Amino acid sequence: MILSSSILQGTELEIEPRYQTQLNQLIEDCRVHLVSVDDDLIRRAFRVAYWAHRNDRRASGELYIAHPLAVASLCVRHIGLDDLTVAAALLHDVVEDTEVTLDLIRDTFGETLAGIIDGLTKISGAFDSRAIGQAENVRKLMLSMASDIRVILVKFADRLHNMQTIESLPKHKQFKIATETLELFAPLAHRFGFFALRSELEDLSLRVLNPEAFEEIVRGLRSSKKDRDGFVDQFIGPIRDRLRADGFDFEVYGRSKNLFSIYRKMKRQDKALTEVYDVFAIRIVLESEGKKGKEDCWRVYSIVTDLYKPLPERFRDFISVPKSNGYQSLHTTVLGPGGRRVEIQIRTREMHEVAEKGVAAHWKYKESVDRSDEEMDRFLAWVRELLETPRPEQATEFVKDFRLNLYDEEIYVFTPRGDLFTLPRGASPVDFAFLVHTEIGYHCIGAKVNGKMVPLSYKLNSGDQVEIITSKKQTPNPDWIKFVVTQKARGRIRHWINEKRRKASELGRDLWEKKAQKAGLDLTEQQLQRLATRMRFPNVQQLFYEIGVGLYDVQDLLNSARGAQPEGEDGEGDSPRLQYETFLDTAQSSASPALMIDGELHTDIATHYASCCNPIPGDDVFGYISRTGSVKIHRINCRNAPNLLLNQPDRIVPVEWSRQKDVQFVAALRVMGEDRVGIVSDITTVISKDLRTNIRSITVSSEDGVFEGTIVLYVSDLQHLRRLIDRIKRLAGIHGVYRFEEDADSHR
């Protein structure tokens, strides 16, 4: 197949006027945001994409070409890298979804663009497949970054547009995509330095995963906007006047923090929106460059702290010591009018570009001025380090470690010679040792911090000077895995432990085989597994390991084997598909109401409601198939949902509530307010008499004039619970009413 010149030139393509208009706007945007642009390259890429997707439509019903056009536009506005990235965005789905081949792309557009498309196709295939373990998906992301960083940049834009248009998909697909976005793509965007992109991905995920919280924050910010804008104008007025008088070229403005960060503060601080003070920040951007720009930032900081009293513990200098993604800025918090705390960020225009567009800004500035791109080099070194880490046996371990390495908060520590290293907050001397060199980590026996001996589990702080003491006789301690936080340290320790276990298991198996051969016994692997189970070992490997390290006598195994009766071979294993079929065939009575599971009504399936989130009708939920075939129902915003949706997708089934009346569910509310006389009586009157709701239990405690209570009651559905919350909120002296979730260690 060869792309004809008529397709490349568009002479025989009937392009709808609106898409032609969007293409023209895309090229105009490229001229504004990119250093240089090849109009012909982008037009040819669009024509090929339009022709290839001519018969395709999205879930919304619109022509598919709308998606690559939107992705290309996002690449320009959010990333602003180069025209090759824009062309790749237009073509990112053609090889995977149409008759266009990679060789055809290579012949038409060249090797570099073909390489980007190939990387995008591999990533897409990994995330669309339920058969590939999550660890392999993440590894493919890593590999794509190592080959050409533009691959993952286009993938960011692709994911952002999919999140912007996610409402066209079924609910269970929305949940999976939003969870994956929040757990992997948003932190990865942060690691690239894309603050604006990360914020939008987080907010869009929150809208899907917790629409109640999303709407509550939106309404709260909207209702307080007038007062907030007035306060900001009052606050920045004196700053603007001083900066103008001192001859600065600057921009100063207030901005609301992204919804997800506000939601996270509310959860972490256990406060209502009205009680969270730092929902916005003041940003000062200076039109200064180079060394003068850094000096000007400090001069402006001095002016701000002359005008308003600073809180020293809230000061952060990310200019002298940038974050690992290249972020630079001065952060301080001051007391504004009325004693209100206000966060201020001070940076230059170039620092602002890097903060908003991350590595793409590094690329842009590297092209426009003669400078080394140390940030890009450090980032690619991080990618290579991830790839070099020994592969853990469990996919979930790799994903957990990967997320840990996408840390938000960082500390900066020094070697005795003054070399600087960046670590995640909570890192230990063992993390530092492995970061310096794997061999130092393996032989770490002690540590000095600021000249004093500390335990290896000690949590390091920014500015610490760390000296590692080593011994050739030392080997990793398995207990280290309990306190290390970096992916490299966890991976290396786990690899050493696994190697030690593997060698012990091999020794145990050798001892068994010699003993069994001498006794004339020949057991199959399945028979050995059944024997291990009967002897209460979790598996054969554990049995041989304990023999290898001397915890179990091989003669005892031989005696048990002699007494075992031969059994037939096992059939098909406990595959996800078999578990699913077992679940569908299960016919156990259930006290729960009927549920629509996987699109069908089932009244005879054993269902259980997860204690960690206690779902009730009206909640967005999903089903998790247990090993017994029953289904455990979780709310989509349950704290265990990300782990289940990301790491065990084959056990997830779509679940919807069926309509069933006269069924009561246990729910709980957490109420806080002024400890006035009669407050509890007022609350119970509203619940029992006004809304005719049965109370199961109520507990109340008070301190310093403030009370806090938990009310457990029976409700019919989510609307019933919302009516209760709304009515209780109206009572005088009530500060907050929240849905209470039981504590649970896990989803098990």
How far the first Cα of the chain sits from its last, in Å, is 54
pLDDT at 131: 35
Residues 299-309: tens digit of each pLDDT: 999 999 999 99
Q: What percent of the chain has pLDDT over 70?
A: 79
Q: Domain ends where: 611, 628, 655?
A: 655
Of the ranges 346-350, 556-560, 578-582, the best mean pLDDT one: 346-350
DSSP code of residue 182: I
pLDDT at 359: 63
CATH code at position 241: 3.30.460.10
Secondary structure class of 37 (helix, strand, coil): coil
DSSP for 104-123, please give it: HHHHHH-HHHHHHHHHHHHH
The phi and psi torsions of 87 (rounded to 5 degrees) equal -60, -40
Q: pTM of the entire structure?
A: 0.64
pLDDT at 747: 31
Query: In the chain, what are the helix, strand and coil shares in percent, each to the nearest 5?
Result: 55, 15, 30
CATH code at position 132: 1.10.3210.10
* 620 and 648 co-located in one domain: yes
pLDDT at 191: 76
Question: Can you tell me the mean pLDDT for 681-694?
Answer: 87
Count of alpha carbons within 13 angstroms of residue 272, beta-carbon side:
15
Residue that wins the pLDDT comparison between 183 and 605: 183
* 552 and 677 co-located in one domain: no
* 468 and 501 co-located in one domain: no
CATH code at position 427: 3.10.20.30
At 562, is the pLDDT very low, low, confident or very high (cuts 50, 70, 90)? confident
Does residue 207 register a pLDDT over 90? yes
Which active-site residues does the annotation give?
A: 96-97
Q: Has residue 379 been placed in a domain?
A: no
627-632 contacts: CB < 8 A, separation 24 or more? 627/574, 627/579, 629/579, 629/582, 629/583, 629/585, 629/586, 630/583, 630/586, 630/588, 630/605, 630/606, 631/583, 631/595, 631/597, 631/605, 631/606, 631/607, 631/655, 632/607, 632/608, 632/747
- The stretches of 406-486 forming alpha helices (DSSP H) are 429-436, 438-442
Do 458 and 447 contact (CB within 8 A), yes or no? yes
* 423 and 441 co-located in one domain: yes
pLDDT at 158: 92
pLDDT, averaged across the chain: 79
Does residue 162 register a pLDDT over 90? yes
Residues paired with residue 499 on neighbouring β-strands, in sequence order: none
Residues 231-284: tens digit of each pLDDT: 999 999 999 999 999 999 999 998 888 899 888 888 877 777 777 777 888 999
Does residue 743 register a pLDDT over 70? no
At 295, is the pLDDT very low, low, confident or very high (cuts 50, 70, 90)? very high
* 228 and 364 co-located in one domain: yes
Question: Can you tell me the mean pLDDT for 3-15?
Answer: 63
Does residue 42 register a pLDDT over 90? yes
* 533 and 672 co-located in one domain: no
Q: How far apart are CA 610 and CA 718, in angstroms?
A: 16
* 435 and 476 co-located in one domain: yes
CATH code at position 690: 3.30.70.260
Q: Has residue 518 been placed in a domain?
A: yes
Secondary structure class of 38 (helix, strand, coil): coil
Pairing of strands 250-256, 280-286: antiparallel
Report the C-alpha dihedral over residues 138, 144, 145, 151, rounded to 10 degrees: -120
* 476 and 503 co-located in one domain: no
Question: Can you tell me the mean pLDDT for 61-72?
Answer: 92
**How many degrees, rounded to 5, is the angle at CA 326 between CA 320 and CA 332?**
50
Q: Has residue 377 been placed in a domain?
A: no
Q: How far apart are CA 55 and CA 157, in angstroms?
A: 23
Question: Can you tell me the mean pLDDT for 62-87?
Answer: 90
* 256 and 317 co-located in one domain: yes
Of the ranges 527-531, 605-609, 647-651, the best mean pLDDT one: 527-531
Does residue 531 register a pLDDT over 90? no
Residues 607-647: tens digit of each pLDDT: 777 766 778 888 888 888 876 677 888 888 887 787 777 77
pLDDT at 451: 87
Q: Has residue 332 been placed in a domain?
A: yes
Q: Has residue 27 been placed in a domain?
A: yes
Question: Can you tell me the mean pLDDT for 460-479?
Answer: 88
* 319 and 248 co-located in one domain: yes
Q: What percent of the chain has pLDDT over 90?
A: 22
Q: Domain ends where: 485, 512, 536?
A: 485
Q: How far apart are CA 632 and CA 626, in angstroms?
A: 7
Domain housing 725: 665-739
Q: Has residue 398 been placed in a domain?
A: no
pLDDT at 73: 94
* 472 and 324 co-located in one domain: no
Q: Has residue 234 been placed in a domain?
A: yes
* 20 and 153 co-located in one domain: yes
At 393, is the pLDDT very low, low, confident or very high (cuts 50, 70, 90)? very low
Q: Has residue 191 been placed in a domain?
A: no
pLDDT at 332: 93
Question: Can you tell me the mean pLDDT for 114-136?
Answer: 63
- The stretches of 129-224 forming alpha helices (DSSP H) are 134-147, 150-164, 171-180, 186-192, 195-209, 211-223
Does residue 137 register a pLDDT over 60? no
Look at the chain and report how many structural domains it folds into.
Answer: 6
Q: Domain ends where: 451, 485, 519?
A: 485
